Amino acid sequence: MLEQTYKALKPTRLEKIYDLVKAAGVDVALWEKSVVDNRALNPYSNSYRNSQWAFGGGNEPLVACIWWREIAIKDIGLVLEGSSKADVERMSDSLAVKGKDPSIAMKLRNKITKAQQFDRLVSEAYRKRKPVRTAILDGKLSVDDESDPSSAEARELDLLEWFVHEYDPFSGRYLMVRNVPMPSRIVSDPFDDAEDPADDKAFQEFMSNSPLSETEKEAVIKTRVGQGYFRDQLLKRWTGCSVTKVTEPSILVASHIKPWRECTTRAERLSPDNGLLLSPTLDKLFDRGLISFDENNRYTILISKKLGAFQASEMHLLNQKIRPHSYEGMRPYMKYHRENVFIDNIAQQ
């Protein structure tokens, strides 16, 4: 029976993604404007909107693009399993390879952004117990992450809803099931009560489409995410600067170790394991990759050659360490910072 249902689900018509998203109830007014200069556009020609993997959210329905051949048959029904975080980490590793062709690097960055958006959709569906409408795709799948994007030869809106039965905010693993409502009891998300700016559709639209420079966008993100739940958790954990003895909260900055824009899951964005509470100078140096910390040497400060010993001495940075704490949860994030943010290591890639 399920085998027949699966075969019948295979799309045979190539419908426009704009029409499918609109039919699912998502507001598509923004599709009629360019994200670059706000000029009027034919919504069917809006390549940015039409190439996304996830749509809607907030007060609107959730719509996801999924590939027919990636649907599996299990005892519970037709399912889709995966981990957007694992996908992002794999693509990020590929992106970090030295000498990457710029065109391939751009493809990888675009895919990473889309995978992160897909994770946010799955997370929202799970936490808020919302159904997901799906556009079922069939056609040519990319052979690997660096290849051209997959190309749909058929695309139709599934008439039935999908439900996210499982989602792990740490690993990003999910289980979506077709036409089987969520169980009455689900595993609690430890960040259920936390406001996540990534769930703010207006904020996401602004960050995606704003003409601000990357540096200016980072400043906006810093202001937005460095307050509320994340900052409160860091204040509870550290009570003062994670490195110095500064304790005045009004001047301390909640700083992500793995940059917020590169985080995929809610755990990465909200967990205090991915944060340090820093004085303004240390925060700026850490964000710019001019310093990092060596986990193999009791988290002693690493100082970039670009900064130099003289300036480091003038700022009293030499031999500084992160204050004693339980570091286990911090390790993967600090490793990421050293390998992907600390400019001395980036220069060697």
Residue 192 lies in a domain: no
List pLDDT tens digits, range 145-169: 887 788 999 999 999 999 999 999 8
Same domain, 208 and 173: no
63-77 residues labelled b (16+ CB within 10 A) or e (exposed): bbbbebeebeeeeeb
Identify whether 184 is part of a domain: no
Same domain, 170 and 247: no
User: 171 and 202: one domain?
Assistant: no
Among 71-80, 186-195, 308-317, the minimum mean pLDDT is found in 186-195
Q: Are residues 7 and 143 in the same domain?
A: yes
Domain count, the chain: 2
Beta-strand ranges (E) seen in 207-283 are: 253-256, 275-278
Residue 122 lies in a domain: yes
Cβ-based burial of 85 (10 A; exposed 0-12, middle 13-18, buried ≥19): buried
pLDDT tens, position by position, 270-311: 999 999 999 999 999 999 999 999 987 789 999 999 998 889
Cα gap 214→139, rounded to integer Å: 35
Residue where a domain stops, chosen among 145, 178, 211? 178
Q: Please check whether residues 51 and 135 belong to one and the same domain.
A: yes
Same domain, 90 and 208: no
Q: Last residue of some domain: 146, 178, 210?
A: 178
In this structure, the answer to whether residues 116 and 167 fall within a common structural domain is yes
CA–CA gap between residue 255 and residue 236 (Å, rounded): 14
Q: Are residues 249 and 144 in the same domain?
A: no
Axis crossing angle, helix 102-127 with helix 84-95, rounded to the nearest 10: 160
pLDDT band at 204 (very low <50, low <70, confident <90, very high): confident
249-280 pLDDT per residue, tens: 999 999 999 999 899 998 999 999 999 999 99
Cβ-contact 51, 149 below 8 angstroms: yes
Does residue 303 share a domain with residue 244?
yes
> In terms of domains, do 15 and 148 share one?
yes
The verdict on 10 and 158 lying in the same domain is yes
For residue 345, the tally of other CB atoms under 10 A from its CB is: 17
Q: Are residues 148 and 68 in the same domain?
A: yes
The whole domain housing 342 covers: 197-348
Q: Which residues pair with 255 in a beta bridge?
A: 276
